[in-house]
């Protein structure tokens, strides 16, 4: 039986386990880098915390297996990394989506691709940029909704209803923001707006998102 090491809080671990993992794999949770050497025969490592880089540099035994890290706001600096390191989106709920977005500065990530195929996770490799694709789109939808509220166009509740009924979205923009976390969305937009002003967050975004509907 192959071991999958997962560093995650309870919520993200539940998201990870939402898809059934084949019986030939055993999921083992860890809390920190110090626990890694006890599992040097692992098939893959998933670091799904908000402090991903605390695990680097990895011990030598982990530089030859696929390593999946949660890193949304940056394409990471690969200068102190070896092996096959891949970025994924572990924002709350996103690991439950049917198609996993992956990105990496490394050209050859075939070990990671083979691992995902083995655990039956459909994936799509996208450009190695902050937010990848889905998170960028949703962050902008939430931002536009905040601007509408800021300009007194409509209320948060009405916008959520309109977007679900009018576009068949699974959640309204403010429902999405509540699930993902206002600070996560705001931080991504600030990172993106540093090079593209189109992503500038609404001036009252955090206030709007943190005010009950």
pLDDT tens digit sequence for 43-81: 999 999 988 888 888 888 888 899 999 988 876 665 556
What pLDDT does residue 81 have?
Answer: 64
Sheet holding 44-47, edge to edge: 25-30, 2-7, 44-47, 66-70, 84-88, 100-103, 123-125
Q: Position of tokens 């949770």?
A: 29
* Higher local confidence (pLDDT), 50 or 140: 140
What pLDDT does residue 76 have?
Answer: 63
What pLDDT does residue 106 have?
Answer: 87
For residue 75, give both structure tokens: 């394409």
As a whole number, the mean pLDDT across the chain is: 92
Q: Is the pLDDT of residue 158 over 90?
A: yes
Q: Is the pLDDT of residue 161 over 90?
A: yes
What pLDDT does residue 121 have?
Answer: 96
Share of the chain above pLDDT 90, in %: 78
Whole-angstrom CA distances from 67 to 29, 102, 186, 210 are 14, 12, 27, 34
> Mean pLDDT across the stretch 150-163?
95
Q: Is the pLDDT of residue 200 over 60?
A: yes
- Per DSSP, helices labelled H in the chain are 10-16, 110-118, 134-150, 156-167, 173-180, 182-193, 205-209
| Cβ-based neighbours of 196, under 8 Å, separated by 6 or more | none
Single out the residue of 55, 46, 109, 104 nearest to residue 75, CA to CA.
Answer: 104
In this structure, are strands 84-88 and 100-103 parallel, antiparallel, or unpaired?
antiparallel
What pLDDT does residue 75 have?
Answer: 62
Cis peptide before 57 (omega within 30 of 0): yes
Burial of 4 (0-12, 13-18, 19+ CB in 10 A): buried
Q: How many CA atoms lie within 13 A of 36 on its CB side?
A: 21
What pLDDT does residue 78 have?
Answer: 57
Q: Is the pLDDT of residue 154 over 80?
A: yes
**Predicted confidence band at 8 (pLDDT cuts at 50, 70, 90)?**
very high
Cβ contact 133:100 at 8 Å? no
Residue range 174-198, pLDDT digits in tens: 999 999 999 999 999 999 999 999 9
CA-CA distance, 183 to 175, in Å (whole number)?
14
Q: Which pTM does this prediction carry?
A: 0.91
Q: Position of tokens 């890290």?
A: 69
């Amino acid at each position: 039986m192959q071991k999958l090491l997962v560093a995650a809080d309870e919520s993200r671990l539940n998201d990870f386990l939402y898809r059934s993992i084949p019986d030939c794999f055993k999921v083992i949770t860890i809390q920190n880098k110090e626990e890694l050497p006890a599992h040097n025969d692992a098939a893959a490592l998933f670091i799904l915390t908000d402090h991903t880089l605390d695990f680097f540099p990895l011990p030598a035994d982990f530089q030859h297996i696929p390593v999946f890290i949660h890193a949304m706001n940056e394409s990471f600096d690969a200068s102190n990394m070896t092996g096959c390191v891949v970025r994924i989106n572990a924002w709350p709920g996103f690991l439950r989506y049917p198609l996993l977005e992956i990105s990496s500065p490394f050209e050859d990530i075939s070990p990671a691709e083979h691992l995902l195929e083995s655990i039956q996770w459909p994936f799509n490799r996208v450009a190695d940029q902050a937010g990848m694709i889905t998170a960028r789109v949703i962050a902008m939808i939430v931002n536009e909704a905040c601007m509408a509220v800021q300009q007194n166009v409509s209320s948060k509740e009405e916008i959520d209803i309109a977007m679900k009924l009018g576009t068949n979205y699974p959640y309204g923009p403010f429902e999405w923001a509540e699930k993902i976390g206002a600070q996560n969305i705001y931080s991504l937009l600030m990172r993106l707006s540093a090079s593209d002003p189109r992503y500038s967050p609404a001036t009252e975004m955090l206030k709007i998102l943190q005010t009950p509907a």
